[in-house]
C-alpha cells in the first residue's frame, strides 16, 4: 500500500479547503460577520486606535508607524467642539523610552492613569471606581477603563503595554493627533498640528508635543529594518502569520504582518526570550481583534501563573499540587458590598471591621493578609459589579482599606442586585495559592434563588463566606437599652452552624442559646453556613461605643476561627480573558467528587466567549491536519 499517495491527498484537501491564513473558515465568518455586538451593525461605527508596547502606533484608519519620545503628546483630540483630549506622557529616558501615564481631559475633568494603575483626578490621588455624571473610570482585570458615556472610551493596560482609544462614529472627520484623523483615509493620518500632511514621523509627532517643561522631542523608537534571514524574524512571523496560528481567525480584519516587527523589536530591545516576545506581540494582536468584535484565544504557552514561595511558574493546561507551608501563612479577604442605603454604616465603619479581622488573623498566626472589595447594585435591568482599588491595586493592606470604602455609593434604594454575579466576581480575584480565602458579603436586598451549586463551588475551592445583613436574632427580653443576660435579654451578634455569637457575658450559654434560635432565613444565609461560614446582624453596626466594639470583636474572632490555610490544593492556570494567567486552586480533599476536572467557566475567566471556544477548535483542527510532505515512492 502506497501510504504517501493517500497522505498527499489529505494534504491537497487541506490546501484546497483551508488554503491560506486569509481563507480559512473562521476568517471568512469573521470577515463577513465581524461582530456579535449589534451596536456595530449600523453606522455611525466606533473608531478604534492603539498604542502597543510603548512605540507601535495604529491610527483610527489602520495606519501603522513606530514612535517613542521623551515628552508629552496629543494622542487624540476633538477638533470640533473640544469635548475631549487624550495625552500620552513618556518618561525622560532616551535609552529606555516608556509610556509614563495617560491623561484624559473630559468636560473639565482630568483623569490621569500611570504605569502602576494609580489614578489622579484633577491632580488628586483617587481610588477606583470613579464617577462624575456620565464620566467614569473603572478597573477590569489589569485594565483601567475611562469613559464618557458612549462618546469616548480609553483603556490603559500598562502591564501589557496596551493603550487604546475608541470614539463614537459621530466624531468622524473631527479628530487629530498621533492617532490620526478618523476619516477612513489613511493617507492623511500624519497631519500635523498646522494641518499639513507629512511623511516625516518625527516632524509630525513633534508638532503634537505639549507640556510646560522643556523637552527635547525626537523619535527614539526602534526603526531598524528586519533581516529576513534572522531566525528571530522567522519565528515571529511563523507565530503570528502562519495558517495554523491561533490568530488566523482575525487575519481578514487586522494585518498580523504589522505585528511581526513588534515581536522582533521586543526580542531585540527588551532583552526577553523569543517566546516572550511572541507572546507580547500576540497579546497586542489579540487585543486589537477583540476590540473589533473578534474573539481570539491566547496560546497556552503564553498564559503562565506564578506559585508562591519560589515554587516557580507553569503554563495553562497544566495542574500542580501545592502543599501547605508553615512559614509565611496568610489570608486573602474580599468584601462584597451591595451599594444601598441599608449599608450606610459601611462607609465609616468597614475599615474598622477589616482592621479588627486582620488583627484576629494575625493573632491566629496568619500574618500575610490582603484585603479587597467588590461592590454591586441593581441599576434597573443592569446589574453592576465593580472592583474597588487600594492604592491602584485590587488587593491591599488592611491599614489602607478605608481607601476602598471611600468610593462606595450607599444612598441608592435597594433594587435587588445580582448577589450570585457579585460573589462570582469576587471569587475571580487573583487569590494566592496556599492561603485562606474569605468572602464577606453585605447584602441589602433579599437573597433569592437557588445558590446550592455556587455553595458547592465555593466550598470545593476553599472559600469561606460570612454574611452581614439585617437579621432578627431576638431572644428573651428587649435589649435595646443594652440589657444583659441577667435581665432576661441576650444580645445576639451572629450564628454559625453550631453556636450563637453573643455579648461576652452570655458566651458560656452560646450553645444553649443557639438551640433556641430559628435558622437564619434567605439563600445568602444558607450559602454562608454551607461554606462553614457565619451570619451576623448588621443592626449592631448602627450602634455606637461598646456595642459596636463588641460586635466587631465577635465577628473578627469568628472570621479568624474559620480561616484555615489548605493542607493541599490542586492548582491550574487559566487565561483571565486578557491573556494573563489566572490561578484557580481546588482543595485536594473536597467532598464534591463531581467537581473534579470540572472548573466552572466563570471561575476561569469572566471574558471567555463562545466564539473564542470555536476559534480554539478551529486552531486544533488546522494543526491536526498539518501533515509533512511525503515522497511519492514511500
Maximum Cα–Cα distance for the chain, whole Å? 101
Lowest mean pLDDT among 20-24, 400-404, 601-605: 20-24
User: Which pLDDT value is given to residue 478?
Assistant: 45
User: Which pLDDT value is given to residue 631?
Assistant: 42
Q: Which residue has the higher pLDDT, 123 or 246?
A: 123
Given a cut of 60, whether residue 500 has pLDDT beyond it is yes
Lowest mean pLDDT among 206-220, 248-262, 435-449: 206-220
Lowest mean pLDDT among 16-20, 235-239, 439-443, 494-498: 16-20
Q: Which residues pair with 581 in a beta bridge?
A: 575
User: Which pLDDT value is given to residue 484?
Assistant: 46
pTM of the model: 0.87
Given a cut of 90, whether residue 90 has pLDDT beyond it is yes
**Helices and strands (H, E) in the chain, number of each type:** 15, 29
- Write out the three cell numbers for 608: 471567555
Distance CA 566, CA 438 (A): 12
Residue 545: pLDDT band (50, 70, 90) is confident
> What is the CA 181 to chain-centroid distance, rounded?
31
Report the percent of the chain where pLDDT is more than 90. Answer: 56
Given a cut of 50, whether residue 469 has pLDDT beyond it is yes
User: Which pLDDT value is given to residue 416?
Assistant: 73
Given a cut of 70, whether residue 379 has pLDDT beyond it is no
Q: Which residue has the higher pLDDT, 505 or 272?
A: 272
User: Which pLDDT value is given to residue 578?
Assistant: 86
Mean pLDDT of 110-114: 98
158 and 54 in contact (C-beta within 8 Å)?
Answer: no
- Write out the three cell numbers for 440: 464577606
User: Which pLDDT value is given to residue 626?
Assistant: 54
Q: Quick check: helix, strand or coil at residue 38?
A: helix
Given a cut of 60, whether residue 32 has pLDDT beyond it is no
Mean pLDDT of 131-158: 95
User: Which pLDDT value is given to residue 31?
Assistant: 58
> Do the bridges between strand 130-132 and strand 124-126 make them parallel or antiparallel, or are there none, so unpaired?
unpaired
73 and 80 in contact (C-beta within 8 Å)?
Answer: no
127 and 404 in contact (C-beta within 8 Å)?
Answer: yes
Distance CA 405, CA 408 (A): 5
Secondary-structure percent of the chain, ordered helix, strand, coil, rounded to 5: 30, 25, 45
Residue 16: pLDDT band (50, 70, 90) is very low
Given a cut of 90, whether residue 157 has pLDDT beyond it is yes
Given a cut of 50, whether residue 585 has pLDDT beyond it is yes
Torsion (CA) 589, 590, 593, 596 in degrees, nearest 10: -80
- Write out the three cell numbers for 345: 454604616
User: Which pLDDT value is given to residue 21?
Assistant: 43
- Contacts of residues 321-325 at CB distance under 8 Å and 24 or more positions apart, as own/partner, are 321/568, 321/569, 321/570, 321/571, 321/588, 322/433, 322/434, 322/568, 322/569, 322/570, 322/571, 322/585, 323/567, 323/568, 324/434, 324/565, 324/566, 324/567, 324/568, 325/434
Given a cut of 70, whether residue 603 has pLDDT beyond it is yes
User: Which pLDDT value is given to residue 452?
Assistant: 86
Distance CA 417, CA 259 (A): 42
Mean pLDDT of 94-105: 91
Torsion (CA) 171, 176, 180, 185 in degrees, nearest 10: 60
Torsion (CA) 100, 101, 102, 103 in degrees, nearest 10: -130
pLDDT tens digits, one per residue of 409-445: 887 766 678 899 999 999 999 999 999 999 999 999 8
Distant-in-sequence, close-in-space partners of 482: CB < 8 Å, separation ≥ 6: 491, 546, 547
Residue 600 neighbours by CB distance under 10 Å: 14
Mean pLDDT of 168-179: 95
User: Which pLDDT value is given to residue 200?
Assistant: 96
Lowest mean pLDDT among 73-77, 95-99, 120-124, 612-616: 612-616
75 and 88 in contact (C-beta within 8 Å)?
Answer: yes
For 41, 180, 263, 628, the CA distances from 164, given in Å and listed in that order, are: 21, 13, 19, 41
pLDDT tens digits, one per residue of 290-338: 998 888 888 889 999 988 877 888 998 888 998 877 767 899 999 999 9
Query: Exposed (0-12), middle (13-18) or buried (19+): which is 472, by Cβ within 10 Å?
Result: exposed
pLDDT tens digits, one per residue of 193-216: 999 999 999 999 999 999 866 787
Q: Which residue has the higher pLDDT, 242 or 630?
A: 242
Average pLDDT, the chain: 85
Residue 446: pLDDT band (50, 70, 90) is confident
Helices (H), 122-271: 201-207, 231-241, 257-269
Residue 485: pLDDT band (50, 70, 90) is very low
- Write out the three cell numbers for 148: 464618557
User: Which pLDDT value is given to residue 12?
Assistant: 53
Lowest mean pLDDT among 210-214, 347-351, 354-358: 210-214
User: φ and ψ at 151, to 5 degrees?
Assistant: -80, -40
Residue 624: pLDDT band (50, 70, 90) is low
Distance CA 299, CA 281 (A): 12
For 83, 293, 359, 429, 560, the CA distances from 366, given in Å and listed in that order, are: 51, 45, 9, 20, 9
Amino acid at each position: 500500500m502506497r501510504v504517501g499517495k493517500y497522505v498527499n491527498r489529505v494534504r491537497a484537501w487541506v490546501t484546497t479547503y483551508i488554503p491560506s491564513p486569509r481563507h480559512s473558515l473562521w476568517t471568512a465568518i469573521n470577515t463577513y460577520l465581524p461582530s456579535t455586538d449589534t451596536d456595530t451593525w449600523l453606522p455611525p461605527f466606533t473608531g478604534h486606535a492603539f498604542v502597543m508596547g510603548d512605540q507601535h502606533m495604529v491610527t483610527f484608519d489602520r495606519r501603522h508607524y513606530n514612535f517613542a519620545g521623551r515628552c508629552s503628546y496629543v494622542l487624540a483630540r476633538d477638533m470640533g467642539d473640544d469635548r475631549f483630549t487624550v495625552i500620552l506622557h513618556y518618561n525622560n529616558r532616551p535609552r529606555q523610552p516608556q509610556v509614563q501615564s495617560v491623561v484624559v481631559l473630559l468636560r473639565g475633568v482630568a483623569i490621569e492613569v500611570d504605569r502602576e494603575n494609580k489614578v489622579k483626578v484633577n491632580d488628586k490621588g483617587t481610588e477606583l471606581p470613579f464617577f462624575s455624571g456620565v464620566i467614569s473610570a473603572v478597573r477590569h482585570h489589569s485594565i483601567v477603563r475611562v469613559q464618557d458615556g458612549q462618546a469616548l472610551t480609553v483603556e490603559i493596560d500598562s502591564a501589557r503595554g496596551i493603550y487604546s482609544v475608541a470614539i463614537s462614529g459621530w466624531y468622524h472627520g473631527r479628530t487629530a493627533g498621533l492617532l490620526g484623523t478618523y476619516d477612513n483615509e489613511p493617507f492623511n493620518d500624519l497631519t500635523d498640528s498646522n494641518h499639513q500632511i507629512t511623511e516625516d514621523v518625527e516632524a509630525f509627532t513633534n508638532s503634537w508635543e505639549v507640556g510646560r517643561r522643556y523637552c527635547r522631542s525626537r523619535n527614539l523608537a526602534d526603526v531598524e529594518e528586519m533581516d529576513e534571514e534572522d531566525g528571530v524574524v522567522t519565528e515571529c512571523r511563523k507565530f503570528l502569520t502562519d495558517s495554523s496560528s491561533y490568530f488566523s481567525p482575525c487575519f481578514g480584519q487586522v494585518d498580523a504582518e504589522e505585528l511581526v516587527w513588534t515581536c522582533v523589536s521586543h526580542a531585540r530591545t527588551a532583552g526577553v526570550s523569543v517566546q516572550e516576545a511572541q507572546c507580547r506581540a500576540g497579546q497586542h494582536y489579540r487585543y486589537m481583534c477583540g476590540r473589533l468584535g473578534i474573539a481570539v484565544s491566547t496560546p497556552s504557552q503564553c498564559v503562565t501563573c506564578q506559585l508562591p514561595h519560589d515554587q516557580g511558574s507553569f503554563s495553562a493546561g497544566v495542574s500542580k499540587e501545592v502543599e501547605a507551608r508553615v512559614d509565611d501563612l496568610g489570608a486573602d479577604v474580599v468584601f462584597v458590598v451591595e451599594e444601598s442605603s441599608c449599608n450606610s454604616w459601611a462607609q465609616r465603619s468597614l475599615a474598622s471591621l477589616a482592621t479588627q479581622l486582620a488583627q484576629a488573623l494575625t493573632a491566629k498566626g496568619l500574618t500575610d493578609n490582603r484585603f479587597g472589595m467588590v461592590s454591586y447594585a441593581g441599576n434597573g435591568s443592569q446589574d453592576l459589579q465593580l472592583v474597588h482599588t487600594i492604592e491602584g491595586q485590587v488587593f491591599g493592606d488592611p491599614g489602607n482599606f478605608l481607601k476602598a470604602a471611600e468610593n462606595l455609593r450607599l444612598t441608592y434604594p435597594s433594587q435587588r442586585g445580582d448577589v450570585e454575579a457579585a460573589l462570582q466576581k469576587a471569587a475571580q480575584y487573583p487569590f494566592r495559592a496556599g492561603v485562606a480565602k474569605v468572602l464577606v458579603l453585605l447584602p441589602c436586598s433579599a437573597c433569592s434563588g437557588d445558590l446550592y451549586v455556587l455553595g458547592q463551588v465555593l466550598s470545593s475551592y476553599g472559600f469561606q463566606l460570612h454574611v452581614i445583613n439585617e437579621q432578627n436574632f431576638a431572644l428573651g427580653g428587649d435589649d435595646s437599652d443594652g440589657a444583659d443576660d441577667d435581665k432576661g435579654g441576650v444580645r445576639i451578634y451572629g450564628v454559625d452552624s453550631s453556636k450563637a455569637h453573643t455579648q461576652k457575658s452570655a458566651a458560656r450559654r452560646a450553645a444553649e442559646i443557639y438551640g433556641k434560635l430559628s435558622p437564619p432565613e434567605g439563600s445568602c444565609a444558607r450559602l454562608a453556613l454551607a461554606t462553614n461560614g457565619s451570619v451576623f446582624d448588621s443592626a449592631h453596626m448602627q450602634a455606637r461605643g461598646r456595642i459596636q466594639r463588641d460586635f466587631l470583636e465577635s465577628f473578627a474572632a469568628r472570621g479568624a476561627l474559620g480561616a484555615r490555610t489548605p493542607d493541599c490544593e490542586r492548582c491550574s492556570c487559566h487565561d483571565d480573558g486578557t491573556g494573563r494567567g489566572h490561578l484557580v486552586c481546588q482543595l485536594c480533599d473536597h467532598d464534591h467528587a463531581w467537581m473534579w476536572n470540572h472548573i466552572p467557566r466563570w471561575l476561569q475567566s469572566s471574558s471567555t466567549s463562545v466564539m473564542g471556544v470555536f476559534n480554539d477548535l478551529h486552531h486544533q483542527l488546522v494543526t491536526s491536519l498539518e501533515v509533512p510532505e511525503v515522497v511519492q515512492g514511500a
